[in-house]
């Protein structure tokens, strides 16, 4: 049951972080262009890191032709 407990904890933590992020977004109505650019750059960097560090190695292990 240790793995299941870990999965449940991570799911609840992700939901909590999403809720906190939404609250921060709604608390401030007027975002500057610089802030939006920083947040979009951060989000795109996280997406690229996930692809390169997690998804790409898994794909190459499952099929060398990938």
**What is 33-59 written as a DSSP string?**
HHHHHHHHHHHHHHHHHHIIIIIHHHH
For residue 59, what are the contacts with CB-CB under 8 A and spacing of at least 6? 66
Over residues 32-38, the mean pLDDT reads 91
User: Alpha-carbon dihedral of residues 52, 56, 61, 63, nearest 10 degrees?
Assistant: -160
Over residues 39-66, the mean pLDDT reads 86
For residue 60, what are the contacts with CB-CB under 8 A and spacing of at least 6? 66
Label residue 41 by pLDDT band (50, 70, 90): very high
């Amino acid at each position: 049951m240790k793995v299941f407990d870990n999965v449940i904890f991570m799911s609840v933590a992700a939901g909590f972080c999403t809720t906190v992020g939404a609250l921060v977004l709604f608390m401030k109505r007027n975002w500057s262009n610089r802030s939006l650019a920083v947040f979009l750059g951060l989000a795109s960097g996280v997406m690229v890191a996930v692809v390169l560090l997690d998804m790409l190695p898994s794909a190459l292990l499952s099929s060398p032709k990938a």
